[in-house]
A = this chain, B = another copy of it.
């Protein structure tokens, strides 16, 4: 085990995979000499060669389209979208092509493609460097969507994504990059796609979250334990699609109370699916209505510090307070 932050865990895992298997290439804007805007691939163009670390033109649809072509012809491309906010021009290539090629060819063709996209806010990135995009893609059958929140999960899920025969959207919350550290196994470990993880055990209520919001939940849970003796179980979804409903429902059935927390705009967000699943499958186990906390329904996170803070936390300490209310309900 080595302690690392999330961005280092991603860098190390991707580096090792590339060193092991020359079918893997990294392509994206500024991944070459610049090493990516987050410096994940700094020095790799020299190490792996220009043919494997490919600076692309500024064109996301073409970038993903070209990567699909590579994946269709024996390579294992990792396409880096500089910021998740800039994935939208590639929406058609991802939805109509990557996600549908296996289905439409009746299983004849497959697209072993990983799309990495740094997402999420709270880093003073304003409207176009802060977005959450998981809800768009989790709804699309044919592509898997993962979003690790810890260094170990990031490394293990990235390796699993590269090994997966189907397209995987690998979401990296930028705020976890340096803020979150943790132990990562030295050896090549895979975290299975499609498995949620109980990050904190508890008995009074279940909190379901993912991404950076998970850490806010863990923090609130710790304080509630200390302040009020309330025991919160925190489930890290980790994979949005396919969603591990089993782990979520098991926990909710045990605690009888559930709160779902996510950073993205609340309405029609990924949390709606989780709440809906709990309501359909575990209603008679619930002692109180499910609580849902999502981001404000405004187009995206504003830049000015007071506005950004408001987006991240419209009421002070709202997760803590909603958990407390729920526990007492």
Contact = CB atoms under 8 A, between A and B. Distances in A.
Contact of A100 (B127, B270, B275, B278): B127
Contacts of A91: 88-89, 91-92
A130 B254 CA distance: 41
A128 interface: yes
Contacts of A286: 283
Contacts of A112: none
Contact of A135 (B142, B268, B275, B278): B268
B283 A142 contact: no
B283 A267 contact: no
Contacts of A136: 136, 139
A135 B128 CA distance: 21
Interface in A244-302: 265, 267-273, 275-276, 278-281, 283-284, 286, 288-292, 297-300
Interface in A115-141: 127-128, 135-136, 138-141
How many chain A residues sit at the interface, stated as a range, is: 35 or more
Interface string A231-246: 0000000000101000
A94 to B, nearest CB: 9
Q: Which of A61, A95, A243, A281 has most chain B Cβ within 10 Å?
A: A95
Interface string A139-153: 111100000000000
A99 B299 contact: yes
B289 A283 contact: yes
A268 to B, nearest CB: 4
Interface of A: 61, 85, 88-89, 91-92, 95-96, 99-100, 103-104, 127-128, 135-136, 138-142, 241, 243, 265, 267-273, 275-276, 278-281, 283-284, 286, 288-292, 297-300
